[in-house]
Amino acid sequence: MRATTETRSQLLTFEVTILNLDDYLRPLWTICFFWELKYAVIVTTPRILGGFEDGSYAGSARHLFGENRSHLRVDVAQGYMTNADLEKAIKAFGQRCSNISRIYSARCSNVADLLSVSLFEGFLEWVISIGKSVTGFPLWVIEISDKPGKEEAEPAFKPEKLGPVSLMLQYIGNVHGDEPVGREILLFLANWICDNHLKDPLATSIVENVHLHLLPSMNPDGFSLRRRGNANNVDLNRDFPDQFFPINDDVNERQPETRAIMNWLRQMHFTASASLHGGALVANYPWDGTQDKRTTYFGCPDDETFRFMASVYSRSHYNMSLSTEFQGGITNGASWYPVYGGMQDWNYIHGGCFELTLEISNNKWPSANELPTLWEYNKISMLNLVASLVKTGVHGRIFSSDGGRPLPGSITVRGINQTVKAGRTFADYHRLLAPAGKLEVVASMPGYKSKSTSIWLGEAGTTLDFVLDPEVTLKGNLLRSGCECDCGYMSGLGHLEVSLFLFVIVGFLCFLFRGRIKNNLSKQKQLVGPKRPVVV
């Protein structure tokens, strides 16, 4: 949920809340008494309620809707999954739907942990680890795909088979601890896809064409504490580096949940993302802030594409597009009110990931018996958003004319100041674009001559492969390949650890990637279908 800068009158109050002890309690309150060892009455010490709730980021934390705190109330989370319940539900899903999914979270955090488990299993888990919350709760992720856990260049369009790309999307829930609808809705989504992927064309398309990653709870500690911020009382959606102001630039000051998301985006090469919030009903898109902090429309380079994405969600929703506050049920973030340090803008700038912020319920914490209805209201929107990204834009791969090796180059579109990077292993790219008529697409790679071509982009997407010529002879010139890995994160390790790590891991990586590249090139040569991709 987003917030306003309006100043409230200061109130001195005591708060009494009944909490379920299935979730751990942080030592922020005085425990008065227990019964049946499961429930406790928690009495907060007196505090001033004014300015900004929870004291988090007073310069940018704002509340559009008051929380209507009563002096005595039953736990608002009654009927919701506790963190322990959520973990059990995720693992149960992984067992029930193991043919189209995998479950992952944090496993190894350093070289010593890595080498203490089996090399193959430990390395893969370490590479994809998401992380843990402040209190150590794992940030569990569900991946749904017909080939979960495998990097692949699969057809993005069926049955036409326009060409091979790898499309990776994510949904993130419970960014704010007191907005838990998303964590429940994402379990509904996962189970619906599992139950229907063999009989519903939409579910089938998602499973076959997408690697869909679901993070039900980014802020499990905040959920347990029934508050917006995490265990350190920090608003995670104000904790990312900002493009306009020098905030959150010290990596050591960032929250572990924030660092986990940033590392995840760097590792997984997501094409698009959406975070689920509560407290309003609207699809929000970048930019979230402005250079002068004014509340005014400030579009990003891909404004047209983001408006298209937001409209797909809003128009598919039960009543979002009927909003009287937001035309068409969508809004530019800065036009609504500026946010600084948000996840949405950071993902787009630094991860090349097109992210929406989806406010999916007017009530931040509705009664649990409303969750099935909220799922029905959002189901088609969530599915259509994923499906629309599979069918739109420009997709393809970049190759070298010398030997046909995949080149992890970059894709740009004339007139749009945003670069999309191709994948390292298969050099596949997915450039999201709204239907726009004639466009000029440019592929580039250091050491190679750039190449451009014009296309006509309508409602359906198109596949465009590039073959680039070297600028100079390759004799004696070592070019980067899929075997190269970024080991900058190891700068703080000792020389012995680094040497051991590189000896074992890099050798294994190169062997693995080399086999995959050969196999992939072989498959590429054999690929046939009713429509062939354009190659330039």
Q: DSSP states of 62-114 as a string?
A: --SS-----SEE--TTTTSPPHHHHHHHHHHHHHHTTTSEEEE-----SHHHH
Average pLDDT over residues 167-186: 97
* Domains detected in the chain: 83-390 (3.40.630.10), 394-470 (2.60.40.1120)
Do residues 356 and 344 touch, judged by C-beta distance below 8 A? yes
Residue 421, strand partner residues: 410
pLDDT band, residue 198 (cuts 50/70/90): very high
pLDDT band, residue 2 (cuts 50/70/90): low
pLDDT band, residue 460 (cuts 50/70/90): confident
* Per-residue model confidence as pLDDT tens digits over 40-55: 333 333 322 222 233 3
Query: Quick one: which of 351, 354, 342 has its CA closest to 310?
Result: 354
Q: Which residue has the higher pLDDT, 17 or 462?
A: 462
pLDDT band, residue 464 (cuts 50/70/90): very high
Average pLDDT over residues 441-467: 95
* Per-residue model confidence as pLDDT tens digits over 141-150: 999 999 998 8
pLDDT band, residue 157 (cuts 50/70/90): very low
Where is 307: in which H helix or E strand?
Answer: helix 303-316
Buried b (16+ CB within 10 A) or exposed e, 84-95: eebbebbeebbe
Average pLDDT over residues 393-413: 95
Average pLDDT over residues 78-107: 92
Q: What is the DSSP string of 28-70?
A: TSEEEEEETTTEEEEEPPPEEE-SSGGG--TTT---SS-----
Do residues 453 and 394 touch, judged by C-beta distance below 8 A? no
Q: Output the CA–CA distances (angstroms, integers) from residue 532 to 135, 163, 401, 425, 454, in the order listed.
A: 52, 7, 19, 22, 17
pLDDT value, residue 152 = 66
pLDDT band, residue 497 (cuts 50/70/90): low
Cα(221)–Cα(255) distance, integer angstroms:
12
pLDDT value, residue 269 = 86
184 is catalytic: no
pLDDT value, residue 239 = 98
Q: Which residue has the higher pLDDT, 223 or 166?
A: 223
Instruction: Say which of 125, 151, 257, 359 is annotated catalytic.
Output: 359
* Per-residue model confidence as pLDDT tens digits over 255-278: 999 999 999 999 888 999 999 999
Q: How many CA atoms lie within 13 A of 98 on its CB side?
A: 4
To the nearest whole percent, how much of the chain has pLDDT over 90? 61
Cα(391)–Cα(159) distance, integer angstroms:
11
pLDDT value, residue 430 = 93
Q: Which residue has the higher pLDDT, 220 or 38?
A: 220
Give the end-to-end CA distance of the chain in Å, rounded to a whole number: 45
pLDDT value, residue 535 = 77
Tokens standing for residue 198: 């063999």
To the nearest whole percent, how much of the chain has pLDDT over 70? 68
Average pLDDT over residues 497-506: 57
Do residues 127 and 267 touch, judged by C-beta distance below 8 A? yes
Mean pLDDT score of the chain: 78
pLDDT value, residue 519 = 53
Cα(92)–Cα(288) distance, integer angstroms:
37
Buried b (16+ CB within 10 A) or exposed e, 146-179: bebeebbbbbbbeeebbbbbbbbbbbbbbbbbbb
pLDDT band, residue 485 (cuts 50/70/90): very low
Query: Quick one: which of 161, 155, 159 has its CA closest to 201?
Result: 159
pLDDT band, residue 106 (cuts 50/70/90): low
Tokens standing for residue 98: 């193991």
- φ and ψ at residue 369, rounded to 5 degrees: -75, -10
Task: Name residue, tokens 């940030």.
Answer: 139
Cα(427)–Cα(50) distance, integer angstroms:
52
pLDDT value, residue 250 = 94
Do residues 282 and 326 touch, judged by C-beta distance below 8 A? yes
- Rounded to 5°, angle at Cα 433 from 239 and 275: 30
In 10 A of CB 404, how many CB atoms?
Answer: 13
Q: At what angle do helices 83-96 and 181-196 cross, to 10 degrees?
A: 10
Q: Is 518 exposed, middle or buried (0-12, 13-18, 19+ CB in 10 A)?
A: exposed
Cα(392)–Cα(156) distance, integer angstroms:
10
Cα(486)–Cα(370) distance, integer angstroms:
46
Taking each continuous run of H as one helix and of E as one strand, the counts in the chain are: 13, 24
* Per-residue model confidence as pLDDT tens digits over 335-353: 999 999 999 999 999 999 9
Average pLDDT over residues 199-224: 96
* 3-state secondary structure at position 328: helix
Query: Residues 6 or more apart from 335 whose CB is under 8 A from it?
Result: 295, 296, 297, 298
pLDDT value, residue 55 = 33
* 3-state secondary structure at position 520: helix
In 10 A of CB 346, how many CB atoms?
Answer: 24
pLDDT value, residue 489 = 38
Residue 301 has pLDDT above 70, yes or no: yes
pLDDT band, residue 528 (cuts 50/70/90): very low
Q: Which residue has the higher pLDDT, 441 or 14?
A: 441
Cα(304)–Cα(321) distance, integer angstroms:
18
* Per-residue model confidence as pLDDT tens digits over 226-253: 999 999 999 999 999 999 999 999 999 9
* Per-residue model confidence as pLDDT tens digits over 420-444: 999 988 999 999 999 989 999 999 9
pLDDT value, residue 512 = 61
